[in-house]
Every structure is written in structure tokens, then in C-alpha cells.
Amino acid sequence: MRSLNEKVNFFVDFLDVISPKSSENISDLEGRIRDAAYEAEDIFESSMSNQIDSKWEQKYEGLQKVIEELATISEDLVKMMERNDLEIVKSRNTFHPARSSNKIAIVGIKDEILKIKDLLIGPKSELCIISVVGRQGLGKTTPAKIIYNDSDIASHFDIRAWATVSRMYYEQVLSHLLHSIRGLNQESSQESAEKLAENLYKFLKNKRCLIVLDDFWDRQIVLKVKSWFPHDSNGSRILLTSEWESAAMYDDPKCYIHKMRNPTEDEYWPLLRNLVFDKERCPHELVEIGTMIAMKCRGLPFLLTLIGGVLYKSERTQSYWRYVEQQTQIAFSNSLMDFVFFCYYQLPHHLRACFLYMGVFPEDYEIRRSKLIKLWVANRFIKPDRSKSLEEMAEDYLKDLIDRNLIMVREWSYRGEIKTCSIHGILRLFCQLRTRDIFCPDFENLPDVHVNLRHLSILREVKNQIPKFNLAFNLDLRIRSVTYFRNRLYDIHFLKSFRLLRILDALTIWFDEFPIEIVELETLRFFL
């Protein structure tokens, strides 16, 4: 088994020295290496568990198949190198010091923020709705978050609440608003819409409130939330962000529309240059190519921010920048996800699993840095280093992903350390699409998942879903980690369906007594 692990680790290390330009050529091999590693791990750990019969002949045959697959992968890699399909780099070191804070490509963002702030804290006492509208990728959520966390706003309003509406229904929006106010998990989502609205009304009554509904699409939801708002005439506000101008409240005299400004073509390159070089001077030979790259992004802050993260952490040579310019043209001509795919392929291999894991969290979920570090380490995403602990290495991975603008810092500690972070909704969707064979974002899709499913997120109550977990047992799913985002668990017996469970992230659950079922999970190593 040790020899097998060494072979797998060799291939993983080899992937990290392949140039990003060759990433697409080895996408299939990357998946095959991952599957072989999973298969070997499952065979080894199942043989150590008393829950599974020790069918050594089957396990020996399974290991033989893994060894044969690794040999085939080795042969395929040799052939690819002979055909010059792979480009090897001598070093993947960072070409620029880590900054560990997000740079944002929004033209005139300070002016935009000041205008919206003036509307929020203006003298009018009646309830007002402010709609921030603009096309996808133009940058609406970012200024809304900056304003939401602004010290002037925090001191002006007694209560602030945030809900990312997106594809949510009315009841879910109410539940998330209550969660934002109370700081608790969404256990209240089991209550009726009327009860949720009544609770929200009680919290807001006689208080000056700011409610943010991010990425809203249905004006009926806004009207319903507004109908439950106390009419205290104390300067309360509802702030909306949307790409749909038709959903904004144009027919409401108490509604203000703020359209995000589109940058001009002359502003494209200065925005990208600031993201890549900050206060440094851009080498003269990169200006023309950089301008072309910026033009391909068409002034969209989301795209500029992503490509800025790629260029910030890459080699600053004409050759590589020309490659980025060509690939940006191809990717953007297809779809937004193809653009994200290209940026993903520029990641060093050792960062990819950590980034993709962000897809298991709920939309707009603030993740505590300490919790994320533990989960990455527990899932064996971190490569050991003799000079640092796994936790220290995980910290470095996180800072690297932040520098690449793939993870956003949401809150800093008083000591200037990262406290919480999150991921953009489009990037979260990409992570889920990229890992749909090994990550399941919720149990409702269990019957349709791939046999290689490794990670399960439970976002809703499992009270009425036990048959699906029994089905999972019959399918012999090899789920290794379960992440639970509720605060009450009515039946924990379903965990027995996951016979190879290694990580249980469920410390948000309120237990009357310690569940004995957890002790019976023989392969469990982490209870977070």
C-alpha cells in the first residue's frame, strides 16, 4: 500500500510542474489519477473497518486494477511528452509578493459608494427602496457589501440584515434575513411564511433597519418583504441589487434607481493594470498586450478581476501574456463559464481541490478561516512540507487563492488577520459544475449522483429524506465527508448509510446528549 501511495503522490507532484498552457491536455489524466487515488484509499480503509466483510480476493483484484491503471497513465504521459503535448515549467513560485487582500476592478467605485450611502442615510423618514442595477459582472454586490459593512452605516442603523435572493423563494428569503439578524442557522425555515414574517416584523419594530436583498429577480418578493416592514417613519431602507432593470421598483415614488456606470474603453486597461501592478510600473513591453487583454474583458469588473488575479500571480513575460490574450479571446467568445474555466486552469494543481471545495458551502456563506483550514487539512487537500505544519501550509493556500481573487475576504480580525471569507456566486456555480461527480451540494440529488461521490453538503432538514439515505446505502456510495449547515438533527441514523465516512462537520447541531451513532462510525477521523 505504501508503494501504491508513493506512485499516486508522484503523479500528483508531476501535475504541479506542468505549465498552465498544457492543463487542458491533461484534464482527462488528472481525473483518472484522482479516481485511482480514491479507489486505493477506499480499498485500504474498507479493509480496516469491521463494518465491511474482509473479502480479500476482491480487494486484491481492486488493487491490481489500480496498479494497472497507474501504469497506463504513466504510458500515456510518456506518449504526450514525446508528442510535445506537455510543457514543463522549472518553477511555479509566485512572481509577486502575496498581498492577501482582494483588489476590485470597479471604475469610480468610491463615487458609486458615496452616492448610494447618501441615499441610505438621507433625511427622508419614510421607508425607501434603493435599487442598484447593472448587467452581469458589472459589480453590484461588491459596493453593496462595502456599504453594508461601512462604519457610518453600521452606526446609523439599529439593525442590518442581508439575504442573497438569487433562486430563493419567499420563505427562504425571510429565513435568511432572520438568520442574518440573529446570527443563528436557518432552523426557522421549517416555520410557515406567515410565522417567519411575523418574527421579522417583531425584530424590526421600532428600529431603524437596513435590509439588503442581493441579486433579486422577482419584484413580488420585494413587495412581500416591504408589506411586513413596520411603518415607523424612522429612516429604514431596503437596498436591492439586480441585473434586471425590469424588476426594479420604477412605479414606486419612494424607490430610487442607481445604475452602475459602464467603464469606457479608455478605462479598461488602467483598471486591469491597477489589479496586476498596483503602484508598480508596468513594463513597457507588456502595455500593448495588457491593453488587448483588458479589451477582451469588455470592461466587466468580474472578468477583469479574475484575469487580474491570473496575471498578478503569473510570469510577466510577453510570451505568457500573449497566451493569455489568445485564450481570453477564445473563452469569452464562448461563455462566461469558459472564461472561468480558463482562469481555473491557470491554478497550480495543489490549489485546485481547495478552490473547488468552496462549492460545498451555501450561497454567499461566510466561512470562518479557522474552520476552512481544518476542513482542507481533514480532506487531505494540503501537500506536506517538512518546514511547515499542514495548517500553516493551508494558510498559505488560502492567501494564494485570495491573491488570485478566487476567494474574497469578508471580515478581518482586529489583528489584521483573515477572519471570514466567501466565494462569488458564479465561481461557486463553477465549482459545483466541475465537481458534480464527487460533490453533492444537497441530499435531494442523491439518487442521481455518481458512484464516486465523496462529499455531501446538507443545507436542509433530513427529517423526511431518510429513504434517500437508505438508497445511498444500497448504492454503496463512498461518501467520505458530510458537512451539515442546520442546527437541529431529528434523526442521525442516516449516517450509517455512509460506511466510509471520515469527516463529519456537524458541530452546529444541538444535541441533548452525545449521539452514540457517531462512535459506531469506525472510519470517522474528524468530528468538526
Helix axes of 349-356 and 390-403: crossing angle, nearest 10 degrees: 80
Q: Which residues pair with 240 in a beta bridge?
A: 131, 213
Residue 399 is assigned to a structural domain of this protein: no
The answer to whether 359 and 439 are in contact (CB under 8 A) is yes
Closest CA to 438 of 481, 475, 470: 481
Domain, as residue range, for 329: 265-345
Residue 418 is assigned to a structural domain of this protein: no
Q: Rounded CA gap, 250 and 257, in Å?
A: 8
Residue 80 is assigned to a structural domain of this protein: yes
Both 143 and 205 in one domain: the answer is yes
Report which DSSP code applies to 263.
P
Q: What is the pLDDT of residue 106?
A: 60
**Mean pLDDT, residues 384-403 taken together:** 95
Both 122 and 215 in one domain: the answer is yes
User: For the segment 505-521, what is each residue's pLDDT rounded down to a tens digit?
Assistant: 877 676 777 777 788 88
Q: What is the pLDDT of residue 500?
A: 84
- In this structure, of 185-189, 343-347, 442-446, the range with the lowest mean pLDDT score is 185-189
Q: What is the pLDDT of residue 91?
A: 53
Question: Percentage of residues in the chain with pLDDT exceeding 70?
Answer: 83
What are the helix and strand counts (H, E) for the chain? 20, 13
**Mean pLDDT value across the chain:** 82
**Mean pLDDT, residues 46-75 taken together:** 74
Residue 153 is assigned to a structural domain of this protein: yes
Residue 420 is assigned to a structural domain of this protein: no
Both 240 and 271 in one domain: the answer is no
Asked whether the predicted pLDDT for residue 164 surpasses 50, the reply is yes
With cut-offs at 50, 70 and 90, classify the pLDDT of residue 55. low
Both 88 and 161 in one domain: the answer is no
3-state SS of 131-196 is EEECCCCCCCHHHHHHHHCCHHHHHHCCEEEEEECCCCCHHHHHHHHHHHHHCCCCHHHHCCHHHH
State which of 43, 63, 92 marks the end of a domain.
92
State which of 241, 259, 277 marks the end of a domain.
259
168: domain CATH number is 3.40.50.300
- In this structure, of 369-378, 406-415, 466-475, 491-500, the range with the lowest mean pLDDT score is 466-475
User: For the segment 87-129, what is each residue's pLDDT rounded down to a tens digit?
Assistant: 776 555 544 555 555 666 565 678 888 999 999 998 888 889 9
Both 119 and 199 in one domain: the answer is yes
Q: Rounded CA gap, 184 and 508, in Å?
A: 9
Q: Rounded CA gap, 107 and 109, in Å?
A: 5
Q: What is the pLDDT of residue 187?
A: 46
Q: What is the pLDDT of residue 80?
A: 85
Q: What is the pLDDT of residue 321?
A: 96
Both 115 and 251 in one domain: the answer is yes
Both 171 and 113 in one domain: the answer is yes
Q: What is the pTM of this model?
A: 0.84
Phi-psi region for residue 450, left (φ > 0), alpha (ψ -120 to 50) or beta? Answer: beta
Residue 214 is assigned to a structural domain of this protein: yes
Q: What is the pLDDT of residue 51?
A: 46
Q: Which residues contact 343 (CB under 8 A, 6 or more apart)?
A: 306, 307, 309, 310, 406
State which of 345, 375, 397 marks the end of a domain.
345
Q: Rounded CA gap, 187 and 195, in Å?
A: 13
User: For the segment 217-262, what is each residue's pLDDT rounded down to a tens digit?
Assistant: 888 888 888 888 888 899 999 999 988 777 666 566 778 888 888 8
Is residue 322 exposed (0-12), middle (13-18) or buried (19+ Cβ within 10 Å)?
A: middle
Report which DSSP code applies to 520.
T
Both 226 and 317 in one domain: the answer is no
Both 114 and 209 in one domain: the answer is yes
Q: What is the pLDDT of residue 463?
A: 56
Both 211 and 316 in one domain: the answer is no
Residue with the bigger pLDDT between 67 and 307: it is 307
Q: Rounded CA gap, 186 and 457, in Å?
A: 15
Structurally, how many domains does the chain consist of? 4
Residue 403 is assigned to a structural domain of this protein: no
